[in-house]
A and B are shown apart, each in its own frame.
Chain A
Amino acid sequence: MSEPRDELILDRLIHEPGRLAILTVLSSVRDADFVFLQRATGLTKGNLSSHLTKLEEAGLVEIEKRFVRKKPNTNVTLTAAGRQRIAHHWDQLERLRNLSSMPAEQ
């Protein structure tokens, strides 16, 4: 029996390429700072900042602004909800890929 269609609806907040990249990078570390996220995702400062704000508002990341050696440093951590949502999203994408590679029903 096939799975219900609504289970394959993608999370629009996470599916945006910039936010998907940020959450994917954060899912493989405990935390990362703004400079590293910019390096890893290739986003501009403005775009990264805007995406992080949206992710923080959605409760998917925690942002800590601190000073390291008297210089401002923004540290970002994935929340438990964020970790769950990004894992589920990649599962959904994987399922979609598998479905698309299945032979069409006669």
Chain B
Amino acid sequence: MQRGNLEAAAARYTYLRGLFGIPLGVLIILVALVNWGACPLWAFPGAVAAAGAACLPIARYYNANYGRITPSAGQQARGAVAAVIGVAVLAGVWLLLRGRADWSLDLPVNAFAVAWALFMLISCAIYVGFRAHHVIIWGALLVAGALPVWHGEDPTSIGLVLAGAAVMMSGVFDHRLLVRTFGPPGPLDREDSDVGA
């Protein structure tokens, strides 16, 4: 029996419910489409409601197949710290690299992509610890955003598309990790097993 594995699996369960990343990713991409004028602004509140509605069957799927937990106080505190630091880094880096403030460096980088990648890397590091797919996906977004090729027009919308795609991809990999950790969805009755007998 691996004590660390049991504790880590329980502590990471909430985060690994990665299918929630799909409606979130779609929503982020929709923001880019609104920015480009490809989608009317009035459609956005409807899309938020649709994304919220899409989360209900996902929550039901996870609750029915993998169960419910309430994270420990320590885990909840880590989540809050990760959110506060992550949002501060997201806003700070975005403004520093390519903002309208006087102190902005105004670099030819995709500031949103860099800021979002750092936000996710910091959140993962504090809340659940890095997995290989986190480093690859968010590292790739960070490198893509930091390449000094983003001259001309504000590249925020392209950054939003890249971030949305990365959120969905990371979510799918998180979900695959959850299935590998807790087993495939489906009936749990294994009465022929002698585990714990």
Residues of A with Cβ closer than 8 Å to B? Answer: 16-18, 20-21, 24-25, 27-48, 51, 68, 73, 75, 90
CB distance from A20 to the nearest CB of B (A): 6
Chain B 1-39 near chain A by CB (<8 Å), digits 1 or 0: 101001111110100000000000000000000000000
Is B1 a contact of A38 with CB atoms below 8 Å?
no
Q: Which residues of A have CB within 8 Å of B197?
A: 47
Is A45 a contact of B196 with CB atoms below 8 Å?
no
Is A36 a contact of B69 with CB atoms below 8 Å?
yes
A35 to B75, CA, bound (A): 21
CB distance from A17 to the nearest CB of B (A): 6
Is B189 a contact of A45 with CB atoms below 8 Å?
yes
Chain B 156-189 near chain A by CB (<8 Å), digits 1 or 0: 0000000000000000000000000011000011
Is A24 a contact of B195 with CB atoms below 8 Å?
no
What are 27 contact pairs spanning A and B, CB under 8 A?
A21-B196, A24-B3, A24-B6, A25-B6, A25-B7, A28-B8, A28-B75, A29-B10, A29-B69, A29-B70, A30-B69, A30-B72, A32-B10, A32-B70, A33-B67, A33-B68, A36-B13, A36-B67, A39-B188, A40-B182, A42-B193, A44-B189, A44-B193, A45-B188, A45-B189, A48-B196, A68-B63
| With known contacts A40-B6, A40-B9, A46-B191, A30–B196 Cβ distance under 8 A | no
Q: Which residues of B have CB within 8 Å of A20?
A: 1
Is A27 a contact of B188 with CB atoms below 8 Å?
no
Is B188 a contact of A28 with CB atoms below 8 Å?
no
Q: In chain B, residues 61-86, which have Cβ atoms closer than 8 Å to a Cβ of chain A?
A: 63-73, 75
State which of A31, A42, A51, A73 has its C-beta within 8 Å of the C-beta of B69: A31
A43 to B182, CA, bound (A): 12
CB distance from B76 to the nearest CB of A (A): 8
A45 to B195, CA, bound (A): 11
Q: Which residues of A have CB within 8 Å of B196?
A: 16-18, 21, 41, 43-44, 47-48, 51
Q: Beyond the given A21-B1, A31-B70, A39-B183, could you list 8 further A-B residue pairs with CB under 8 A, ordered by the A residue number?
A: A24-B7, A27-B7, A29-B70, A30-B72, A35-B64, A35-B67, A38-B67, A42-B195
CB distance from B80 to the nearest CB of A (A): 15
